Amino acid sequence: MREGTSGFSVTKKAGKITIEYVDFGVSEFGGGDFEKTYYLDEENSKKLVVALKKEYKGSLDSMIEQAFTRNFSDRLFWEFCKQNNITYSSSTWSG
């Protein structure tokens, strides 16, 4: 269960997008913190932006918040990517 979140951050560099969030006090980790990062290569970053622009308006950060919520829903992100044939890699950290 996600107890608290820092929200998410988006980085766009050299055409690649990185999305990450940190949750604090996650009960599954004994009250520890959890960090998740999604990495999209240049091709899939373009697909993400095009797909988001079909449904949302604003900056990349704003469209991501509208699509996946301020606390960033992994489930919504996974479903959106699947529907739009977007692939990504990810990493996690807990402590």
Yes or no: say if 9 and 64 are a contact pair by the CB < 8 Å rule: no
Residue 84 vs residues 28, 29, 32, 43, 54: alpha-carbon distances, Å: 31, 32, 34, 12, 11
**Six token digits for residue 67:** 């699509």
pLDDT digits (tens, 9 = 90+) for 15-64: 999 999 887 654 555 556 778 999 999 999 999 999 999 999 999 999 99
- Report how far residue 39's alpha carbon sits from residue 95's, in angstroms, rounded to the nearest whole number: 21
Q: What is the DSSP letter of 95?
A: -
- Report how far residue 49's alpha carbon sits from residue 2's, in angstroms, rounded to the nearest whole number: 27
Banded pLDDT at 3 (limits 50, 70, 90): very low
**Six token digits for residue 10:** 């988006």
